[in-house]
Amino acid sequence: MIKLLSHLSYLEIAAPDVEASVRFYEEQVGLRVQSRANGKVYLRSWGDYYNYSLVIAQGPEPALNVMAWRTSSPEALDEAAKRVEDAGVTGEWIDAGHGHGRSYRFTGPWGHTMELFWEVEKYVAPEEFKSVFPDRPEKRTQHAVGPRQLDHVTVAASDVRAFTQWYRDVLGFRIMAYTTLDDYPVTVFGVITTNEKSHDLGVVLDSSDRPGRVNHFAFWVDSREELLQAADVLMERGTHIEYGPSIHGVGEQSFLYFRDPSGMRIEWNTGGYRNYVPDWEPGEWKPSTGSNNLYRNGAMPMSMTESFPPDPGKPTATEEGIVPGTEEAILNPYAVQGRG
């Protein structure tokens, strides 16, 4: 198979209050509004080579509308679309617009809408944002910390192994690792990648009946020091840290999780291994071997199992008056247990 996908390019999320979310991403995450069109707001990190990497659209609940990958060539785009159709999924060719050309959009077997494209407008910084360094699309942000770029997205699906195998077989992702529970033979997490890192697409087990859910998405910073400073920025502005800062065993990345105003989970991420092995066999982790927390000295808060949109059968942590990441949510996990 030729290499089909090159990298994750942008995500479109839904938020009930678009302007509140935009303010949060500008002020506390350090993104910048690049443009607005048809009610959607397009944001960029300072290191994005294309115009934007996050699109916020109005929607009744926090959700992932689209995850978009750039293919490796025009031929790879046609080949990827053919392979999706051969796998029994019918997509559509669209002119995505807003800096993207002909795109193939389809909804995968677990309900996640993916857009594949080759043609894209490269970002050209206005004079005030131009960097003195030729490889930088624009100057480093003046925020205390701002992400260099979008890193990965982690969705939720009812069968983690089948999900990863479908995306491997159809689109050429490498499967890098699984986490299976210590006490039950249930795989709760998997990571797949188009590149040298452990994942640009993760998947957590979804026990709800709702397809196409997302658990979180992550931005990249260059160093662990910046990640810790990002935690400072959030804490001092009243944003609760849901989990971290710490290091995942899977992928060995440093992480930090928090929520945006819609309740959507965001991650700061840095470090981790680089793995180029083409016939890599997925690592088999358990929570007890440090899959989530390399140091094995703290349990993941149960609020982390909440995915989006929320499971209609179960109240969210917020609806129960529990703010994810607070002491109450961490010390009383049963209050927020069992969802998604």
CB of 145 to Fe ion, least distance (A): 18
Comparing CB distances to Fe ion, the nearer of 30 and 272 is 272
The mark string for 9-28 relative to Fe ion (x by CB under 5 A, - otherwise) is: --------------------
Comparing CB distances to Fe ion, the nearer of 12 and 151 is 151
Q: How many CB atoms lie under 10 A from the CB of residue 94?
A: 13
Comparing CB distances to Fe ion, the nearer of 115 and 267 is 267
Scanning 9-17, 75-83, 157-165, 212-220 for contacts with Fe ion by CB under 5 A, the matching segment is 212-220
Q: Does 218 bind Fe ion (CB under 5 A)?
A: yes
Chain-centroid distance of CA 225 in Å reads: 21
Which of positions 244-283 make contact with Fe ion (CB under 5 A)? 267
CB of 269 to Fe ion, least distance (A): 6
What stretches of 114-172 show up as alpha helix (H) in DSSP?
Answer: 160-171
Which of positions 107-136 make contact with Fe ion (CB under 5 A)? none
Q: Does 200 bind Fe ion (CB under 5 A)?
A: no
Asked if residue 144 lies in contact with residue 233, where contact means CB atoms within 8 angstroms, the answer is yes
Asked if residue 84 lies in contact with residue 171, where contact means CB atoms within 8 angstroms, the answer is yes
Comparing CB distances to Fe ion, the nearer of 156 and 218 is 218
How many residues of this chain bind Fe ion (CB under 5 A)? 3
Report the sign of the C-alpha dihedral through residues 154, 162, 172, 112, in that order: negative
CB of 57 to Fe ion, least distance (A): 22
Comparing CB distances to Fe ion, the nearer of 83 and 224 is 224
End-to-end CA distance of the chain: 35
Order across the sheet with 253-259: list the strands.
Answer: 241-247, 253-259, 265-271, 214-220, 149-157, 201-205, 187-193, 174-180, 283-285
In the three-class reduction of DSSP (H, G, I as helix; E, B as strand; rest coil), residue 18 is classed as helix
Which of positions 143-162 make contact with Fe ion (CB under 5 A)? 154
In whole angstroms, what is the distance from residue 136 CA to residue 37 CA? 26
Asked if residue 57 lies in contact with residue 16, where contact means CB atoms within 8 angstroms, the answer is no
CB of 246 to Fe ion, least distance (A): 12
CB of 53 to Fe ion, least distance (A): 15
CB of 174 to Fe ion, least distance (A): 17
Comparing CB distances to Fe ion, the nearer of 108 and 202 is 202
CB of 226 to Fe ion, least distance (A): 17
CB of 38 to Fe ion, least distance (A): 30
As a residue count, the chain comes to 340
Closest CA to 294 of 213, 212, 198: 198
Q: How many CB atoms lie under 10 A from the CB of residue 120?
A: 18
Comparing CB distances to Fe ion, the nearer of 154 and 187 is 154
Q: Does 96 bind Fe ion (CB under 5 A)?
A: no
Count Cα neighbours of 157 within 13 Å in the Cβ-side half-sphere. 26
Scanning 85-93, 138-146, 211-219, 317-325 for contacts with Fe ion by CB under 5 A, the matching segment is 211-219
Q: Environment class of residue 184 by beta-carbon count within 10 Å: exposed (0-12), middle (13-18) or buried (19+)?
A: exposed
Comparing CB distances to Fe ion, the nearer of 9 and 154 is 154
Kindly list the residues in this chain that would bind Fe ion in the complex (CB under 5 A): 154, 218, 267
